[in-house]
Structure formats: structure tokens, C-alpha cells
Copies of this chain bind each other. A is one copy, B any other.
């Protein structure tokens, strides 16, 4: 068995990998955000999903201010080692719009159709 080293992932020019968050219970795809190697290490160490905020240029412990935390259930690396899948226990809504998931707009009909309202 190989010990996992976050430095062995393929990061982009900004030193980041995309991370897909999926709900452990429902299987819903919640959101996509980004991690650098340190955020990957922090997430594994704390079991609290920690992204890198590209706008704020700082660590982003998901739910730190909103309470909408993501507890890590499993972290998976893809075949090319340039993308991660975080399987999580989501508290509250994953989306900053207060919807359960970020992917609430369907466009496959050619029209933008909102599938989900903000939580009460």
C-alpha cells in the first residue's frame, strides 16, 4: 500500500485541483470548489472539508461562518490525479444561495429552469 502524499497530485498553474463534493447519504452532487496541497492535507487531518478560496486567496473551512459544514467521509483521487471527489456529510445547504446544492438550474431544454428553491 502506498502512503498518500498530497504533493503527488497534478495541480494547475495556480497550484489547485478541482474538488467535487458529493453527499454521502443522497448521492447528490453538492458543489465544486478548489484545493491546494495544504488544503488537501488539512481536510485529511481535520476531517472538515477545507477548500482554497480563489477570490479571498485564503483557506476556506466550509461552513465556518454559515455552520453549513462538510464532514469528510471519503476522499477519492481520479485516474489522472488532477481531480478529487470528496464524499461528505453536509450540514444544511451546500450552496451560498441557501439551496441544498449549487446545481439547481437545468438548461438541457434550451431554457434555464430553476429546479430548487432556497431552504426556509
Contact = CB atoms under 8 A, between A and B. Distances in A.
Nearest to A96: B79
Copies of this chain, complex-wide, total: 2
A72 to B, nearest CB: 6
Given A2-B112, A18-B18, A79-B96, 7 more contacts: A4-B111, A18-B32, A22-B29, A74-B106, A76-B115, A77-B107, A83-B102
Given A4-B107, A44-B110, A112-B1, A95 B79 contact: yes
Interface of A: 1-4, 18, 20, 22, 27-29, 31-32, 44, 72-80, 83, 85, 95-97, 99, 102-108, 110-113, 115
Contacts of A108: 44, 72-75
A22 to B, nearest CB: 6
Given A27-B27, A44-B107, A105-B76, A20 B3 contact: no
Given A1-B113, A4-B107, A110-B4, A102 B75 contact: no
Given A29-B22, A110-B4, A104 B85 contact: no
